[in-house]
Structure 1
Amino acid sequence: MPDPMVSNFQNERSLPKPSSVQESFEAEALARAKFIRVLQTWASDRLAANASRFEIVEKRKAA
């Protein structure tokens, strides 16, 4: 039986690569922007979980 970790690694290696350095930089920038947005949303939700209803609106606007 093939090792699933090895087959997953092989699948990752066969993913299409960016055709240029510019596309690579753009893909990395997009991934960073998505990550930052998710992190901001998570932080906002954590603050909201610990705040009263009145404070939630102000904290979400700040985030």
Structure 2
Amino acid sequence: MMDDTGTWVAVGPAGAVGSIRRASDGFHVELYGRTGRGGTYPSLGSAKEAVHAALGPFADRPEFRAH
């Protein structure tokens, strides 16, 4: 089931690490504290994978909370 919301916040053990916002051209990723890292992805799944990958090779997958 896909959320009808337009914003998801990625939360890891240390707190919020980024967000995903639905837009007309895809899903925009913003990574908190990482200037220039982010982008636009064609699906919510690929945006979530991008956030997880940006956290590093041994990072746990963050929880994505719809807002």
Is this a same-fold pair by TM over 0.5? no
Greater RCO structure (CA 8 Å; 6+ sep): 2
Higher helix share: 1
Q: TM-score range by the shorter chain?
A: under 0.3
Q: Which has the larger radius of gyration?
A: 1
Scaled by the length of structure 1, the TM-score of the pair is: 0.26
Scaled by the length of structure 2, the TM-score of the pair is: 0.25
